[in-house]
Amino acid sequence: MLSQYSVAGKTAVVTGSSQGIGEVTAKRFADEGADVVVTSRSQEDIDAVAAEINDSDRPGEAIAVECDVRDRDAVEALVDATVEEFGGIDSMVNNAGASFMAGFDDISENGWKTIVDINLHGTFHCSQAAGERMQDDDGGTIVNLASVAGTDGSPYMSHYGAAKAGVVNLTTTLAYEYAGHGIRVNCVAPGFVATPGVESQMGVAADDVDRGEVERRMGRSEEIADIIQFLASEASSYVVGETITAKGVPDIEESPEV
């Protein structure tokens, strides 16, 4: 791989990495020589991911740290464990998220708060805790995961879309505030991606998606991991405060036939 795209020797924390985009990203970073911290609310699930990385011939190593991103003490402990094990933190990938489908009138206050807490408040906790450490060291990168639900709106997922819109806006503001500290903050807004969650809801598995096909509206986790790696590498050194949308063929209004 060209050196500017390399993450070798870096340390990355990937939240929500027990499955889907987070798991694929953690493995990708380890493939490329980065040490990774896999984390989610299920110790058993992340233990399995870390073991697979460490038992393979990947040059990067992994540790598993259980963490609920809504809990500030747990997030602080996550960052402390990262620094204790690997000596610092170079990249924070804020991938942890959750949602459920419901009409706006059917969302309870608790349901709304839960989704906003995980997706937006969790990003706040992780960015601030990692950012404080990065400011004490030599800077780093923060990559937030939003969604087209946050850029375009999303019927029956208003809580999720509102939270992800907040993540997009936070990315822009935080990028400005952190730039002087050598920290680049960017965001990825995926469309439909064939994760285990999407497969359970829509019946489309990753093996059903041909990455080489341009004309499609379903992506693969590997394609999002590519963008995350780019944003964590020196190849994106002039990309600051941006949200990269990855959603396949644009949905546009075609010209009427005359």
- Residues with a catalytic annotation lie at 160
CA-CA distance, 70 to 126, in Å (whole number)? Answer: 9
CB atoms < 10 A from the CB of 220, how many? 19
Closest CA to 90 of 19, 182, 2: 182
Work out the end-to-end distance of the chain between its first and last CA atoms, rounded to an integer number of angstroms: 50
Burial class (CB in 10 A: 0-12, 13-18, 19+), 257: exposed
179: its two tokens: 């730039």
CA-CA distance, 10 to 102, in Å (whole number)? Answer: 40
CA-CA distance, 102 to 169, in Å (whole number)? Answer: 24
CB atoms < 10 A from the CB of 255, how many? 6
